[in-house]
Amino acid sequence: AIFYSIINLASSGDNIVAARAIYGGTFTLFNETLPQFGIQVRFVDAEDPQHFAAAADENTRAFFCETVSNPALEVTDLESIANLAHENGLPVIVDSTFSTPYLCRPFEFGCDIVVSSMTKWVGGHGAGIAGIIVDKGGFPWGAGKHPIFDKADESYGGMRWGHDLPESLAPLSYILRARTVPLRNTGGCLSPDNAWIITQVNYLSSTKSENSLFYKTQ
């Protein structure tokens, strides 16, 4: 999910600014894999949100952080980072795996895109492997900060995702492109078995979160 969330808005020659205290697998993706696609990741200390703005330039396409970093347990000032991102015409992608949607709702703090592992607390069992991207909708993708959304997409009939969608669909341009371009073209869809396993227990996520809080405070 994180990989798709990045390649859906950045391409070779672009960069993102990310918190340095992030999950190990995400760090490896950012530090080793994305550079193979020509996408640079600039790591900053998220405890001072101003570091994100200081590291951004004309090729920056997004800020990335975690609600609570894993395993460093740094609590991120989402609202300040979102404000700085929007001042620079950029979206915030936040991984909410560690806090779950039950304990933190990043959209309420101005974040634009939420990614989460469904394998951990949301699934609650580790038996199914899945990730999710949730788009708040409404970010101005056609404002000139994201060339991917300005250029004609020949894989989808010359569509300019930030400009050519009808008014009713324009707020969904990011998630629509994610489904019809990187997901469709690379085939990383969820298997039926994993989807079934996740949906069987997802409705219990609030109960699991309350139980976890109870036992951790005793």
Model pLDDT for residues 90-114, shown as the tens digit of each residue: 999 999 998 988 889 999 999 999 9
What's the CA gap between 120 and 47, in Å, rounded?
A: 25
Mean local confidence (pLDDT), 23-42: 97
Mean pLDDT of the chain: 91
What's the CA gap between 94 and 106, in Å, rounded?
A: 7
143 or 201: whose pLDDT is higher?
143
What's the CA gap between 89 and 61, in Å, rounded?
A: 9
pLDDT-derived band of residue 126, with 50, 70 and 90 as boundaries? Answer: confident
C-alpha angle with apex 98: 93 to 101, nearest 5 degrees? 70
pTM of the model: 0.91
What's the CA gap between 218 and 203, in Å, rounded?
A: 25
